[in-house]
Amino acid sequence: MTSMSRARVARRIAAGAAYGGGGIGLAGAATVGLLLAEARLARRRVGNGTTPHVPNADGLYGAAYTVPGEPALRLTMLGDSTAVGQGVHRAGQTPGALLAAGVAAIAERPVGLSTVAVPGARSDDLDRQVTLALADPSRVPDICVIMVGANDVTHRTPPTRSVRQLAAAVRRLRTAGAEVVVGTCPDLGTIEPVRQPLRWLARRASRQLAAAQTIGVVEQGGRTVSLGDLLGPEFAANPRELFGPDSYHPSVEGYATAAMAVLPTVCAALGLWPADEERPDAARREGFLPVARAAAEAASEAGTEVTAAMPGARGPWALLKRRRRRRVPEAEPVAPPV
């Protein structure tokens, strides 16, 4: 499928989400029976990806930067098992901990992390999660990171519904004053035990949803980062290294790779990035595009950021950026979040 074709599909899904449609499918009706049969086989091979324990990473990071009278930044993680860090064993290995520690180091300011994401969540759980995140009006998060979409694909949730629910969550958070960064649906075609033709169908469905998510999020004032194949060609080349023991959730290195890709966008949303890095770099193939085209390109290239730019005669435009990834070390929380 060409970039223009992907853009048209994404625009149709996003329009259906905005205007209440729900009938646009991610795969043709003729493929559904085959998809379900292969999915059942893959589920038996992969397992359900559950672990008895998910580390609690909530707490204060970068406490050494505390200055009397200056409050800590607040970071909240929403979404599914990818946002929680299911599959790792230590709090410091979770995406939330890695992001909190990275922001604290760059801002030279402590960061309080709270997590309302839950394993297995789909986009229809975001309304509940946002209510939890905004429960205390005096403690509205400075930045929210949402990672969601994989379970919508595997449960065959209509993409228009998924995008509508995600866009509503972003709108509530932005209205409350929080910046929002969304890690879009990962490429399920990289799951090692999944075979063809399910692998191709999963990749197609994942990328279509990721592109449509980007349109919905950007239109509500959020930013997206394509998680794609978590992240870069090395993931498909080295699935045993970047997948965890259950062959479904990312490994420690996989989560670190995802956090490295999301961190620059989180920092940019908080105004922590140098001004010269906010300008598009033609050498890195960055620039302004109609939002649907930017969304389609981002869905095909992991680690690509899309953010709103300007209105256009035929619809909004977006800035597509390929930011340099920043590695951050593991860090454990030193106190409950503040």
3-state secondary structure 52-102: CCCCCCCEEECHHHCECCECCEEEEEEECHHHHCECECCHHHCHHHHHHHH
- Determine the residue type at 27: A
146: left (phi over 0), alpha (psi -120 to 50) or beta: beta
Residues 190, 154 contacting (CB under 8 angstroms)? no
Whether 8 is covered by a domain: the verdict is no
pLDDT at 156 over 90: no
Query: Is residue 251 a part of any domain in this protein?
Result: yes
Q: Look at residues 267, 252, 254 and name the one whose alpha carbon lies nearest to residue 323.
A: 267
Of 326, 331, 334, nearest in space to 94 by CA: 331
Q: What is the arithmetic mean of pLDDT over 103-121?
A: 94
Residue 230, domain extent: 59-267
- Asked if the structure places residue 74 within a domain, the reply is yes
* pLDDT number for residue 33: 43
Percent of the chain with pLDDT over 70: 70
**Do 304 and 224 meet the contact criterion of CB atoms below 8 Å apart?**
no
Task: Give the predicted TM-score (pTM) of the model.
Answer: 0.84
| Separation between Cα atoms, residue 327 and residue 259, nearest integer Å | 8
Instruction: Report the b/e string of 302-325 with b at 16+ CB within 10 A.
Output: bbbbbbbbeeeeeebbbbbbbbeb
CA 142 – CA 279 distance, rounded (Å):
23
Share of the chain above pLDDT 90, in %: 42
Burial degree of 279 (CB within 10 A; 0-12, 13-18, 19+):
exposed
If you average pLDDT over residues 244-253, what whole number do you get? 61
Please check the confidence at residue 312 and state whether its pLDDT lies above 80.
Answer: no
The residue type found at 326 is R
Please tell me the predicted confidence (pLDDT) of residue 34. Answer: 47
Residue 285 has a pLDDT of 87
Q: Residue holding tokens 């949730």?
A: 157
pLDDT top residue among 199 and 96 = 96
Q: Is residue 38 assigned to a domain? A: no
Helix (H, G, I), strand (E, B) or coil at 124: helix
- List pLDDT tens digits, range 18-55: 555 544 444 443 344 444 445 555 444 444 444 457 88
Would you state the pLDDT for residue 336? 65
Note whether residue 30 is domain-resident: no
Tell me the CATH number at 253: 3.40.50.1110
Check if the beta carbon of residue 113 is closer than 8 Å to that of residue 77.
Answer: yes
Residue 200 has pLDDT above 90, yes or no: no
pLDDT tens sequence across 257-311: 888 889 999 999 999 987 777 788 888 888 998 888 889 888 888 889 999 887 6
Q: Is 284 a member of any domain?
A: no
180, 221 contact by CB (below 8 A):
yes
Q: Is residue 283 part of a domain?
A: no
CB burial readout 102-141, b (16+ within 10 A) else e: bbbbbbebbbbbbbbbbbebbbbbbeebbeebbeeeeebb
**Total structural domains in the chain?**
1
> Residue for token digits 């029976």?
33
Which residues are known catalytic residues?
A: 81, 246, 249
- Say which residue, 196 or 52, is predicted with more confidence: 196
Q: Do residues 56 and 89 make contact, with C-beta atoms less than 8 angstroms apart? A: no
For residue 117, tell me if it sits in a domain.
yes
Quote the pLDDT of residue 326.
Answer: 64
217-247 pLDDT tens trace: 999 999 999 987 654 344 455 544 444 455 5
3-state DSSP helix/strand/coil % of the chain, to nearest 5: 50, 15, 35
> With contact defined as beta carbons under 8 Å apart, do 273 and 103 qualify?
no
Q: Do the bridges between strand 179-183 and strand 143-147 make them parallel or antiparallel, or are there none, so unpaired?
A: parallel
Structure-token pair, residue 240:
């045993």
